[in-house]
Chains A and B, each alone.
Chain A
Amino acid sequence: MKLITHNMLTSKCLKGVLTGYPLAINATNIKINEVDFNPDFISRIIPKLDWEVLWKAADSIGHSEGLPQTIEQNYDDDKEFLKKAHRVLLEVEVEEGYLICPESGRQFPITKGIPNMLLTEAEVQ
């Protein structure tokens, strides 16, 4: 699971859960996977992100180094910044671990980098 995905993912499909966001991460194995840098994509995606959630998620798994806690206004021109954002969003991957619903405490296992968001029949809304 990449952190861009974590930034979008919720547990709101659980019965009784309202927003289910952000999910806490407990990572036991993290991998770095190189991806081609596309500055256009990164600048386009930034306004859609919850930056604070991204920063905290990166920090909680030990990968916030060099990542600013808030975004500067002219971030599109700052190549160094875009590269760091690229690395954190697309290259850092949680391989093993689990996600935790902030409202219910329900855990969703991550295996081989894939979060298992399947619900039991009783959990479906």
Chain B
Amino acid sequence: MSGATPPEPETPAGPPAPPGRRVPRRRLRAPDWGRYATWAVLCWLFTPIAFMALFGFNDISGRQNVAWQGFTLRWYGQVFSYPDLTAALLTTAVVGVLTMLVSGVVGGLLGLALGRYRFRGRGATNLVLFAAVCAPEVVTGAALLSLFLTLNIATGLAAVVLAHVMFTVSYVAITVRVRVMTLDPRLEEAARDLGAGPWTTFRLVTLPALLPAVTAGGLLALALSVDDFVITSFVRGDATTFPLWVWGATRVGIPPQVNVMGTLIFATGVLLAVGNVLLARRRR
């Protein structure tokens, strides 16, 4: 699209183009709204993140990190200077990784069963999965708390992991189920045909095919767990996660270390996502 050439008048009913010289069809010269809209949405999404990252470099004194004072790398050096913040971050990491692993395995198997087999209660299980995704977190959190209290399960770290698995397992199961349903059943038959038993077939053919979906679901579970505030706050007991610590700190002012950690968490998430995409591409 060169804007330099003067627009020729359109001649739709004119004589046909002389043979050998193809007349290019002129495109409508409208502003490219689609592209602008995409950039606008991207800006809208990334501006808060950019600000968070930027204020991790803010050279402030005191605890109010609201106005730009100048550039420093100080907070990156002192990122672990609040022991309880560091502990909260660690708790979040432990809870997140455990959630990812348990949800990945349980959700993966659930997705496999739902996508592959017809069994009694399959419809109900599907419904429950979607209900778990759709239910408002406040409701889930409150319900879990009363459940834990009724069953005499102590609130705290273990309860938080249990709760996180409960609300993230659906995402893994749904992701994996879709993959299972698009998986050619002939692949597994071919493996059996070539002498592989049921378990070898699963290990060498089914699992590699499902792994990208399981990984994607697991990463989603990790992201949801790291970021969860509402459900965690119900069942936390005396455990504190990163989001809960940040919320508690708002009253006294959020130190720039939080921005630094936030930036690092975001960067980790992006790296994991990109890594998963690259791995999936290499597998094709």
Report if A and B associate in a common complex.
no
Question: Which A residues have a C-beta under 8 Å from some C-beta of B?
Answer: none
Question: Which B residues have a C-beta under 8 Å from some C-beta of A?
Answer: none
